[in-house]
Amino acid sequence: MKKAENPETAYYLGDSERRDVEGAGNLGMITVRISEEKGGSSADYIASDLYDAAIWISNRKDYKGT
């Protein structure tokens, strides 16, 4: 994974704690884990599906989407 220029404004979505959340989190990115399990994750948010993740991201004050 290449380091983002502004990792604190980058979102990384994935379903694997080890491969997705930990790697992106170590780079300083905002992490969203897609999982039906609601505990045991270091992700910034655990979403039940992509729609749930999109809602969470769009409601964040730092989100600058279109």
Average model confidence (pLDDT) for the chain? 88
pLDDT (0 to 100) of residue 39: 84
CA angle 59, 16, 63 (to 5 degrees): 20
Please tell me the total count of domains within the chain: 1
Scanning 1-66, the segments in alpha helix (DSSP H) are 23-26, 50-58
Q: In which domain, by residue range, is 42 found?
A: 7-58
For 11-43, how does the pLDDT look when each residue is reduced to its tens digit (9 = 90+)?
999 999 999 999 999 999 999 999 988 888 999
Q: Is 33 inside a domain boundary?
A: yes
Nearest to 53 by CA among 39, 36, 32: 32
pTM recorded for the entire structure:
0.83
64 within domain boundaries: no
Range 39-55 average pLDDT: 95
The mean per-residue pLDDT over the stretch 49-61 comes to 93
The residue among 65, 35, 51, 12 whose CA lies nearest residue 3 is: 12
Handedness of CA 26, 30, 35, 37 (dihedral sign): positive
> For residue 57, is pLDDT > 70?
yes
Residues with Cβ < 8 Å from 6, sequence gap 6 or more? Answer: none
